[in-house]
Chains A and B, each alone.
Chain A
Amino acid sequence: MCLAIPARIVELEGDKAVVDAMGNRFKAKTTLLENAKIGDLVLVHAGFAISKVEEEDARKTWNLIEELDSFQETDKKISG
């Protein structure tokens, strides 16, 4: 439940942002961050950005999520 995913801020108005994670766009709030700006990579948990992250770390997590997705697809096929 405490999983946060990295996403990039693509729109920002006050503390209301739209973020992009692997092509999925959703709303997130930046209330918990200082000086969030468009282009920042942030960890988003339950609709809130909780910290900034580096490009490399975000990429590693996205790759892992992609791997898990393909793993789960295979898992579903195997277990029917």
Chain B
Amino acid sequence: MLERICKANKLMDKACQTLGRDINVMEVCGTHTVSIFRSGIRSTLPKHLKLLSGPGCPVCVTDQGYIDLAIELAQRDDCILATYGDMIRVPGSDGSLETKNKNNVKVVLSAEDAIDLAKENPGKTVVFIAVGFETTTPATAVVVKEAAQAGLENFCVLCAHKLVLPAMEVLLSEKNDKIDAFLCPGHVSVIIGSKAYEPIAAKYRKPCVVAGFEPMQIIEGLAEICRQICEGQAEVNSIYDVAVTPQGNTIAQRIISDCFEVTDGWWRGIGKIPQSTLKLKSQYSKFDAYERFGLTEKPAEDKTGCRCGEVLCGLIEPFDCAMFGNKCTPQTPIGPCMVSSEGACAAWYKYGRKRKTS
């Protein structure tokens, strides 16, 4: 293992020398962010190899307007909200699901649990808070199909499932040109396949390397990026072959496209990204909470001064925000990147704060 680490470090050093400036690698996925901090990888990297945390934590990129709608539904006596635990503390414009009528909010571990809740509570409508990237989306699609087959009338989903690729593209095309390469998410790639990144690698000339979440996978992923930079390449490569194939999980892809169509969507801190969000197809409209309750998602204006948007785009580090660590902490989070344990701010607060200030 030591040999592999040394080899990886040599490649990293060489890339930094070749480029003669900082190399900025964005880890797109929140799970990578946490693994990088926990394992202490950052402190072993060459000084000029910088890691930026990207918009790959679904909690962090869910717009306040969506949280506001969820809170609005939680106020209704005829509804039960079923949500993954990550979402309950995320602040909307006024409070979170945890603080607003939490009796109507149930935490589920699986979309299937939401279906069970609906069967157990025939007098209420169960609204499933469907957030997450491509890893999580197939589960929602499966339960919507199940609900349709079973004729389950008291179940619907408030869908904000998002796609990783359009966000990566937005970061490259408008916001900044700081990013040199992407460390691509392992489990999203299980579903979409490593080939999915090829257009980005080709169009923007950025290496895209898929890695798993073990520290050694991350180190070797970074080394592969550095090798490509040294050799002037910009290719897609996966070092997580045990789970990721070039084509991805085609059954999951088919179920997603059976149920959903792609539409424009709001991302917290980034704004509207064209063709980046999923919406239930018309044949499933009766399971669409937007249709059932006549809701429209309006982007909420963030008045707190929170700079999570800039953090998500890799433009600033969490500690560049004036509220980081004083007004905004994991106990009193103001922005979503501090709420989610996979958010860049929470990870910096927990693992990187002392090092930064010392």
Contacts and interface: CB of A to CB of B under 8 A. Distances in A.
A4 B135 contact: yes
Interface in B183-238: 185-188, 190-191, 212-215
Contacts of A68: 38
Contacts of A54: 242
B13 interface: no
Nearest to B34: A3
B86 A50 contact: no
A27 interface: yes
Given A47-B113, A47-B139, A57 B249 contact: no
Most buried by A among B29, B86, B190, B191: B190
B251 A34 contact: yes
Contact of A32 (B187, B188, B214, B252): B252
A2 B30 contact: yes
A60 interface: yes
Interface string B44-60: 00000000000011110
B214 A46 contact: no
Given A27-B112, A48-B110, A57-B243, A3 B38 contact: no
Contacts of A50: 135, 138, 187, 190-191, 249, 252
A74 interface: no
B269 interface: no
A53 B243 contact: yes
Contacts of A34: 251
B180 to A, nearest CB: 23
B142 A31 contact: yes
B139 A1 contact: no
Contacts of B188: 2
Interface residues of B, number: 41
Interface string A46-76: 1110110110110011001000100100000
A57 B215 CA distance: 13
A63 B215 CA distance: 12
B109 A51 contact: no
A8 to B, nearest CB: 15
A3 B213 contact: yes
Interface of B: 29-31, 38, 56-59, 84, 86, 109-113, 132-133, 135-136, 138-139, 142, 185-188, 190-191, 212-215, 242-244, 249, 251-252, 255, 340, 342
Interface of A: 1-4, 27, 29, 31-34, 43, 45-48, 50-51, 53-54, 56-57, 60-61, 64, 68, 71
Enumerate the 7 nearest inter-chain pairs by beta-carbon distance, A residue then B residue, closest first.
Answer: A47-B110, A2-B135, A57-B242, A2-B187, A32-B252, A48-B139, A51-B190
